[in-house]
Structure 1
Amino acid sequence: MFDINKILRPNIKNLVPYSSARDEFKGEASVFLDANENAYGSPLEQQYNRYPDPLQHKVKLRLSEIKGVPARNIFLGNGSDEAIDILFRAFCNPGIDNVILVPPTYGMYEVSANINDVATKKVHLTEEYQLNLEGIAEVIDEHTKLIFICSPNNPTGNSINRDDIETLLANFNGIVVVDEAYINFSRQKTFIQELTEYANLVVLQTLSKAWGLAALRVGMAFASQEIVEVMNKVKPPYNINEASQQLALQALQNTDLVNLWIKETLAQRDNLVLQLKNLEFVVDIYPSDANFILVKTTDPNGIYRFLVEHGIIVRNRTSVELCEGSLRITIGTPDENKKLLETLQQYR
């Protein structure tokens, strides 16, 4: 059975977090002389001289309405990458513990592990890009603290079998991290709905993809209140700046526009797949639940260079194991997709 105290690092368990001025006073006042801020304002039209809300209450309340989860179960980070890094720092003892990765997958999990001196055990996905449950079970040991699963997966685009993820959640005594950066484009339902069932579940999402706010760097982690409280202890006091909080809150009022973009992206994805299948150098196009497709070709390096010469940038994934020969292509606007297809038709 999962027990957070058994996997939490002792120094984090005993950590007294930094107490900022905005943590110690909550409420309204007319004169703030507690945080050594510049009382005269900012040399900008918008005033940014005051420190932001360290726990981003307004943004979390709006997310709570949209996601159907209590605000106490939401952590906000400087991109999902901050949430990933904090999970390593909170639960993995450097040089002792390990995590399980299931490549091909998002590369930041391994980078963050290496930064934190945490060993990685890799269990490759099957040829169908699904979990190898037997392989995962074989490498779990007493020092395995985290399992990272990206679903829909990057770079393959497919969703991971839900029953397989639940099998891990039910049988692993560490934390299972389900990264749902592309969930808005998926036919699968989010794992956020399972938070009450699994105390060891952390779901990552982001405002960088469907919400179009990549430049603001706002990532989300949904987890038990216990896990969120640990993550809040470890994070820097003001990890989400005021401009990002204000703009994210504005964007979160406009769900209709985002839903319209999602529908258009899915329609464009289906059309792009149909058109690409007519090209003789396209070997296969893998099923996608994301805003990109993985396309296997006869000459990935040549095609990539040809597109670059014409001002079109895709991602060459041929060096990634199980993605040999493949290019990852993000779904663009109708005009961008048209230009891509017209250019590819010229390739010989």
Structure 2
Amino acid sequence: MDIKDLLRPTIKALKPYSSARDEFQGATDNMVFLDANENPFENGVNRYPDPLQRELKSLWSELKGVSVENIMFGNGSDEVLDLIYRAFCEPNQDNVITLPPTYGMYEVLANLNAIVIKKVNLDNNFQPKVDEILSTVDKNSKLLFICSPNNPSGNSFYSEAITRLVSEFKGIVVIDEAYIDFSKEESWVSRLNNFPNLIVTQTVSKAYAMAGIRLGICYASAEIISVLNAIKPPYNINELTQKKALELLNVKGLAEKQITDILLEREKLIDALKSIDFISKIYPTDANFVLVKVDDANKRYNQLIEKGIVIRNRTTQPGCENTLRLTVGTADENEILVKAFLLISKS
């Protein structure tokens, strides 16, 4: 597979914008910068940020054991996904495939980019129907989105199914691993070298407790990363985001401890939910949330709102009738949720 054959013609012919910080990359000590029309009065944010986030990327590369040339950062994972659309999908011509129920932004971005979206619903166990997916593909199918662990169901997809899809799909396969840190499954990042058409996305929003800074991660071949770097906005990751990410990532063991705590609380929450009489099913989860089936999702959602608790009602999603998605909170927050459920069940 030649990735260049999948790119839009306009992207292949694109001459990337060269910012001031792109053009000068030498030593910065004792240099006077008069190249970017910045305000010269120092306050910590008067200069443009590093357009390639070199310091942050180096740290992330070390933490994850992935080469810098295989990493790109986005302003949240949503920017990464949008850039993938822009690179590979010709508006009003190409199509992408999604597997509902799944993350809603895949469809939103398809609509924004004037791309046809083909949907192949997951089976009753929230697993991909591989044969049906592959039979849906046509010559204009450019992207296949796989969310594993899946949102909103929480389960991971079978490795054998993903392997077959990545091997047989003739376009780009995007595996969204926003919740991978809560799973025992191995990240597909370790298999980038085996599949030139594979892109893996992750985020610091969940396991790393940095949803507020908007930082998404893209892993792919150096060839794909170079294309995405060429079309991204020049300063897409602001200085404050880079500094905060560096600060928190350098706190040794912080993320690992929080992940451990969340996993422990997840199991305690699941055990407690088994005693709620209107919950008929608790779905297996590899994420930091639990999907449950109830007797009347709209009713139970509103009852929780009245008690000051906000969860997610997923009843309108395919295969998710009368389901609620519960994020795993702190021990105190989970206790408040369970007590509210018990009170509701007795009323």
Question: Do they superpose with TM above 0.5?
Answer: yes
Task: Structure 1: give runs of 5+ residues left out of the alignment.
Answer: none
Cα distance in 1, alignment partners of residues 170 and 79 from structure 2: 23
1:145 counterpart = 2:142? yes
Cα distance in 2, alignment partners of residues 52 and 213 from structure 1: 19
Q: Corresponding residue for 1:18?
A: 17
Cα distance in 2, alignment partners of residues 272 and 114 from structure 1: 37
Q: Corresponding residue for 2:33?
A: 32
Counterpart among 239, 243, 258 of residue 240 in structure 2? 243
1:7 counterpart = 2:6? yes
AA of the residue aligned to 2:23: E
Cα distance in 1, alignment partners of residues 283 and 252 from structure 2: 29
Cα distance in 2, alignment partners of residues 255 and 333 from structure 1: 21
Q: Corresponding residue for 1:59?
A: 56
**Cα displacement (A) at 1:87:** 0.5
Q: Corresponding residue for 1:217?
A: 214
Whether the 8 Å contact between 1:125 and 1:131 is mirrored in structure 2 is yes
Counterpart among 95, 106, 116 of residue 109 in structure 1? 106
Q: 1:255 to 1:139 in 2, by over 3 A?
A: farther
**Cα displacement (A) at 1:82:** 0.3
Q: Corresponding residue for 1:172?
A: 169
- Listed one character per residue, the Cα deviations across residues 104-160 of structure 1 (whole Å, up to 9, x for unaligned) are 000000000000000000000010100101111111010000000000000000001
3-state SS of paired residue (2:194): coil
Counterpart among 62, 68, 71 of residue 71 in structure 1? 68
**Cα displacement (A) at 1:28:** 2.5
Cα distance in 1, alignment partners of residues 232 and 329 from structure 2: 35
Counterpart among 290, 299, 304 of residue 296 in structure 2? 299
**Cα displacement (A) at 1:299:** 1.5
AA of the residue aligned to 1:36: N
Task: Structure 2: give runs of 5+ residues left out of the alignment.
Answer: none
Q: Corresponding residue for 1:329?
A: 326
Q: Corresponding residue for 1:202?
A: 199
AA of the residue aligned to 1:3: D
Counterpart among 67, 77, 101 of residue 80 in structure 1? 77
Q: Corresponding residue for 1:310?
A: 307
3-state SS of paired residue (1:271): helix
Would you say how many aligned residue pairs link Structure 1 and Structure 2? Answer: 343
**Cα displacement (A) at 1:286:** 0.2
- Listed one character per residue, the Cα deviations across residues 6-65 of structure 1 (whole Å, up to 9, x for unaligned) are 1100000010010000000002342100000001234xxxx1010000011111111111
- Listed one character per residue, the Cα deviations across residues 248-286 of structure 1 (whole Å, up to 9, x for unaligned) are 111111241111111111111111111111111001000
Cα distance in 1, alignment partners of residues 132 and 60 from structure 2: 37
1:229 counterpart = 2:230? no
Q: Corresponding residue for 1:260?
A: 257
Q: 1:229 to 1:261 in 2, by over 3 A?
A: same
Paired-residue identity, %: 51
**Cα displacement (A) at 1:200:** 0.5
TM-score, structure 2 length as denominator? 0.98
Q: 1:253 to 1:338 in 2, by over 3 A?
A: same
Q: Corresponding residue for 2:130?
A: 133
3-state SS of paired residue (2:34): coil
- Listed one character per residue, the Cα deviations across residues 289-337 of structure 1 (whole Å, up to 9, x for unaligned) are 0000001000211111111111100000011110001000000000000
TM-score, structure 1 length as denominator? 0.97
- Listed one character per residue, the Cα deviations across residues 216-254 of structure 1 (whole Å, up to 9, x for unaligned) are 000000000000001001100000000100111111112
- Listed one character per residue, the Cα deviations across residues 53-90 of structure 1 (whole Å, up to 9, x for unaligned) are 00111111111111111000001000000000000001
**Could you say what the CA RMSD is over the residues aligned between the two structures, in angstroms?**
0.8
Cα distance in 2, alignment partners of residues 144 and 254 from structure 1: 43
Q: Corresponding residue for 1:122?
A: 119
